[in-house]
Amino acid sequence: MTSPYQFAHDAYAARLRQSFDHLAPGEESGEVVRVAGRVMLLRTQGRLTFATLRDSSGEVQLFCLEAATEGYEAFTRLHLGDWVGAVGEVVRTQRGELSVKVATWAVLAEARRTFGEKWAGITDVELRYRHREADLWANETTRASLRRRSDVVRALREHCWAQGFVEVETPILNAVPTGAAARPFVTFHNALDSEFFLRIAPELWLKRLVVGGFERVFELGRVFRNEGVSPRHNPEFTMLELYAAYWDYADMMRFTEELVAGAVAAVLGTTELVYQGRAVSFATPWARRPMAELVSEALGEEVTVRTPRATLAALLAERGVEVADAWGAGRCVLELFEHLCEGDLWAPTFVTDYPVEVSPLARRHRDDPELTERFEAFVTGRELANGFSELNDPVEQRARFEDQARLAAAGEDETMSIDEDYIASLEWGLPPTAGLGVGVDRLAMIVADAANIREVIAFPTLKPRREG
């Protein structure tokens, strides 16, 4: 018997449960349906057999009688995990379980491997990540986490569309890895005889589209950073980046809190949730706190980017942070923030007014030339989003890139490369613009209550298994 190419199915488990809720135990509906899914459990009792069938919506029982089911004997020999299509009347058994009383049925595909212990499922994390398909069938929480991720992505995209943003796609293969400070993955194009880098951010391309007249653009896509793997970092991850002409960073903060709170509400039905046992409210507006203010509070003494570098360096050294020679006062303030404040920002908070030194693409603050109009959104102690009024002066942008080059020369690992094409694009004129980047995996983690980023990535990056 060849395996079927098709099965015309017209019913889902969840909908059957709703539609036939009224059936009393022992009652037969008279209605014939065609269901399909995997056999999750099988209970044979001589001349009658019960199977639990699971489809994408849920589970429903199949009820087979030797006298009423074609090929009954073969049905009793099904394996857990086999894909089955069944045709039969919707009934409720004497014991009250809604069932499809199978008249005819077909194996759609065999499962030649098992899906783990039927109660404990699969717990081996390595097996779960390397064979997510098995994990998905074995574990409800995996299905829920990946489903929530999908819902988050949908909500973000729909919010952007609704606000008039145009979705675009920009190159992943880049001759210059730029738009962020991170080590790239390197690859090679044979015909062009050139080295390429997988993008670390789409930022500069997107702003070039704004120069070209797309006033509101967004890209929802994968970026790649050649850095350590951790429960919060996957080498490839998903970022939402968007740019809006004529906005400044205050406009963008308002947009960001609506975007994120809206996505949380769209998925969970509320802006209130519990992450890892601790309540978080995404209700807007979120707190806005200048970085220097937060650092000063944590230190118990007033510091700013104008505090002498030596003083800041001493404060860092006291806390066991190794201070590099190349760091100026601005970088020191940022380091103090990261060590003293970041982890405590549990409720959504915009940290604003980053030092110029650590923000090479952000526009100078209108009230303080040592700062930029930049913010980062923190929640559950982690960075979730980063945005700013975009630097649109090509002369200053070149100078900022040159500062980065000096840092690189001084031994800093991760600096931003000069992108001449980008400077050229600024010379054509970038209107006042605000930009935003949101870590989609991080947001999915919060919504799925996942402690590990791999739980919201279908196929997380793992070290390849070595054969032999």
Partner RNA sequence: GCGCCGGUAGCUCAAUUGGCAGAGCAUUUGACUCUUAAUCAACAGGUUCCGGGUUCAAGUCCCGGCCGGCGCACCA
CB of 408 to RNA, least distance (A): 12
- Name which of 245 and 436 has its Cβ closer to RNA: 436
Alpha-carbon distance 149 to 233, whole Å? 16
- Name which of 154 and 183 has its Cβ closer to RNA: 183
Structure tokens at 383: 């960075």
Identify the three-state secondary structure at position 17.
helix
- Name which of 166 and 323 has its Cβ closer to RNA: 323
CB of 23 to RNA, least distance (A): 12
Decide if 385 contacts 377 (C-beta within 8 A). yes
CB of 283 to RNA, least distance (A): 22
- Name which of 125 and 395 has its Cβ closer to RNA: 125
CB of 423 to RNA, least distance (A): 21
Return the ∠ at Cα 352 (arms to 351 and 356), rounded to 5°: 125
- Name which of 6 and 230 has its Cβ closer to RNA: 230
- Name which of 148 and 454 has its Cβ closer to RNA: 454
Alpha-carbon distance 223 to 235, whole Å? 8
Secondary structure (DSSP) of 343-386: GG--S-EEEE--BGGG-TTBPEETTEEEEESEEEEEETTEEEEE
CB of 81 to RNA, least distance (A): 8
Structure tokens at 370: 């040592």
CB of 212 to RNA, least distance (A): 26
Return the ∠ at Cα 310 (arms to 309 and 315), rounded to 5°: 95
CA distances from 134 to 124, 142, 464 (A): 11, 10, 18
Q: Calculate the CA dihedral of residues 145, 146, 152, 155 and round it to 10 degrees.
A: -130
